[in-house]
Amino acid sequence: MKTINLSWGDRPIALETECPRTFLRLGANLRVDVTDASLDQLDRMAQVTADLADVWRDQIRAARVADEVAAEDGFPYRRRQVAA
């Protein structure tokens, strides 16, 4: 199995269909063939994505709390958010 690392930021995510194939497009450079994916696999992909969004929300909340505590202590600077 080959691992590919790709950072696409806020680039589009979309479904593409080229008869008879269906692809999940992630940004401009990655297209995943999901034509033969089972419903279980698609549900799992959705769950993993939802879990990732929850992790990112938790990190944003933690950074906000740290910023508020720092401001209350007289350090009015914002911490940089770290990628998940």
Q: Specify if 10 maps to a domain.
A: no
What per-residue confidence (pLDDT) applies to 55?
95
Q: How many domains does the chain have?
A: 1
The CA-atom distances, in angstroms, between 62 and each of 1, 24, 34, 58, 84 are 35, 32, 35, 6, 13
For residue range 17-31, list pLDDT tens digits in order: 999 999 999 888 889
Q: Is residue 19 part of a domain?
A: no
Helices (H), 2-82: 39-72
For the whole model, what pTM was predicted? 0.63
Q: Which domain holds residue 60?
A: 37-76
Among 41, 32, 28, smallest CA distance to 2 is for: 32
CB atoms within 10 A of CB 44: 12
Average pLDDT rounded to a whole number, residues 5-17 = 84
- Segment 29-42, tens digit of pLDDT: 889 999 999 999 99
Residue 56 located in a structural domain: yes
